[in-house]
Structure 1
């Protein structure tokens, strides 16, 4: 029997309500089912956040990772995205069960995250190489969401919080909505995007290469897919200086539109902070500070 951390249990019940409670009540049965169906032994999990993720050893000796989640729209999108990426810059999908919310993935060993690379420039170059592999023209027939879905989420937040949410004033949210609308409506070339690509979702492999994990799956312009990377791994750093330099490197390496990237940065930093406040009642201080960093950088390069 696997003992689930109380914080993880609370997260599941807070987000998924009764459906989450039912999933937790049947968790041991699900584990037994997976071990039998895929002929594996599931080990104690990695650090848990929103999904149960653990290493597993197949009966034939192969190292695997199993990911279990309360079945939902985001899970279905992840499966679709993994199939679209098909191991190109991305961890390989071995099998899945859509009804039960199960993913069986290859295990990336040693599996250190990009946070282990202390040199900022080197980390950005690794991330940009992953982005080059992942991004491809959006497929015509797919159930993946577009950036418009995230615009709709931000508009809903604005409507439901007429006085703002947490430290974010309604004027800031509305400004982000307006920018999001303008950018979404003026996109030209649409690509298949990761949707949540950051330092903790890029892992080192035994072949001395790096691969992405945990795609959200999204259609949109490439500039948008850089923002989560820009928002992460900012602890004990000068956020303005670090984001400024990261932006310049990514623009140079990937031939991106810097002006649109900075605008996306502001709009998505607002959205990410709002999401955290809705889900957990708290927020990441670096995400929040980045709202004003992106505004300052945009002003510096395009308004001064």
Structure 2
């Protein structure tokens, strides 16, 4: 039941395999608790295992994630949106979440880029709801995330051999100073939104999986919607066209959204080089050159 490829994920060499070794028992006890029957082959990403299951009232999936702050935050995010544009959380216990069944292998990567950008922008707007008082106050803000990155960006840029012109670094830091003020109304924000995180569904056409709840400006992650599909945008004109599709669908201010793209692209470029990535920094170079 545990795919060998999941056991080969890099995190287990770093974190140890104790949780991984307990997975079969966790699946068994979760199925007993919720009266489930395994009904398909498990799939996984780098950190979570997803097992198709069924019971008398329908089809679901078990999502199993190692304990930690990320897992707690994901449960909080799903509870906050409560199925509004996101996969519905049916129940949770220990390291297992019982979720509504979406269609695996049918993410937005399977649709043309124009359509995907429109859906992503519309999803950004739909998730941008004000939180009831007290519910979201402890959630990280986009302004604080920018301020935190600004504190280290120049040092990283120098350490990495000045990978892009200093003028673009200065521009990113000037933009960051504006974005970190947090003067805009604070709304719920998904801090990890891109084509691979949106799957076909039955209850609605498309639903978000693995949302990251933040508060602040909803175009915080707009750059990621572009750079994850940048290989399908062969020219600067096509990049701008797809940027405009997202902005129009999300109903955001074009200049402010452009600022978010510039800052987050410079940020991710540096992070990607630090992490040893190769393709993503090249995509960031193309994206930053366009704006």
Partner of 1:49: 46
Which runs of structure 2 are paired with 1:64-213 in the superposition (5 Å)?
64-97=60-93, 100-109=94-103, 112-118=106-112, 120-141=113-134, 142=136, 143-151=138-146, 154-155=149-150, 157-158=152-153, 161=156, 163-165=158-160, 168=163, 171=166, 176-206=172-202, 209-213=205-209
1:104 shift after superposition: 1.4
- Give the secondary structure class of the aligned counterpart of 1:193: strand
Is the alpha carbon distance of 1:116 and 1:162 closer, same or farther for their aligned partners in structure 2, counting shifts above 3 Å? closer
Partner of 2:11: 12
- Give the secondary structure class of the aligned counterpart of 1:137: coil
Distance in 1, matches of 2:209 and 2:66, equals 19
1:61 shift after superposition: 5.8
Note if contact 1:110-1:206 (Cα within 8 Å) is conserved in structure 2.
Answer: no
Note if contact 1:11-1:50 (Cα within 8 Å) is conserved in structure 2.
Answer: no
1:291 shift after superposition: 4.3
Note if contact 1:65-1:107 (Cα within 8 Å) is conserved in structure 2.
Answer: yes
Ranked by relative contact order (alpha carbons within 8 Å, sequence separation 6 or more), the top structure is 2
Partner of 1:2: 2
Alignment gaps of 5+ in structure 2: none
Partner of 2:277: 282
Partner of 1:300: none
Distance in 1, matches of 2:91 and 2:162, equals 43
1:48 shift after superposition: 2.2
- Give the secondary structure class of the aligned counterpart of 1:150: helix
1:244 shift after superposition: 0.6
Deviation digits for residues 209-262 of structure 1 (CA, Å, limit 9, x no counterpart): 221111011111122132221222223431523321122122233331222212
Note if contact 1:247-1:258 (Cα within 8 Å) is conserved in structure 2.
Answer: no
Is the alpha carbon distance of 1:44 and 1:38 closer, same or farther for their aligned partners in structure 2, counting shifts above 3 Å? same
1:82 shift after superposition: 0.8
Range with bigger deviation, 161-170 or 214-223: 161-170
The alignment yields a C-alpha RMSD, in angstroms, of 3.0
- Give the secondary structure class of the aligned counterpart of 1:185: coil
Is the alpha carbon distance of 1:265 and 1:73 closer, same or farther for their aligned partners in structure 2, counting shifts above 3 Å? same
Note if contact 1:164-1:173 (Cα within 8 Å) is conserved in structure 2.
Answer: no
Alignment gaps of 5+ in structure 1: 298-304
Distance in 2, matches of 1:260 and 1:229, equals 16
Is the alpha carbon distance of 1:79 and 1:238 closer, same or farther for their aligned partners in structure 2, counting shifts above 3 Å? same
TM-score (norm 2): 0.84
**In the alignment, does 2:261 pair up with 1:268?**
no
